[in-house]
Amino acid sequence: MRKIVLAAALIPVLAVSVCGCVPVLLMSVGGVGVYAISKDTIQGDTDTPYESLWDAAMRVARVRGTILQEDFNRGFIHVDANPNRINIQFQRLTASTTKVRVSARKYKKAFPNIELAEQVFIKILEEARAGEAGS
């Protein structure tokens, strides 16, 4: 009986991994709903001010690697973190809400690196909140 239940529980997991669909990762980071939108991208909306997020992302990007391109007004930072490439994007949704999207790929964009995207996303939020608390 246990084998049947275990097999029934594993069928959806195997089906998703075999067909190539992206599993949806849902979690909460400091009150922010975070979810994976592709095999290499984490996204979430936060009430943290845009400027605090930008400053935090720049600090995290400098620690992780070399900033290749940045644009405060258009809301993007591209980072070479050898052998990974990290893209950080911000979109102002309202005066107080910002969407944060982090994607990461390794080996010259060949393979997704969702773990790195998640780490960078969380670090940006932590740094932004620490920066707000220190102000």
Q: Are 40 and 33 in contact (CB under 8 A)?
A: no
What structural domains does the chain harbor?
23-134 (3.30.530.20)
User: What's residue 107's pLDDT?
Assistant: 82
Question: Is it the case that residue 134 has pLDDT exceeding 80?
Answer: no
Q: Are 39 and 24 in contact (CB under 8 A)?
A: no
* Residue 29 pLDDT > 80: no
**Among 27-36, 68-77, 124-133, the range of highest mean pLDDT:** 68-77
Q: What does the pLDDT look like over 52-86, one tens digit per residue?
A: 999 999 999 999 999 999 999 999 999 999 899 99
Contacts 24+ apart (CB under 8 A), 69-77: 75/50
pLDDT at residue 81, rounded to an integer: 92
CB-based contacts of 30: which residues, under 8 Å, 6+ apart? 125, 126, 129
CA distance 124 to 61: 9
d(CA 67, CA 69): 6
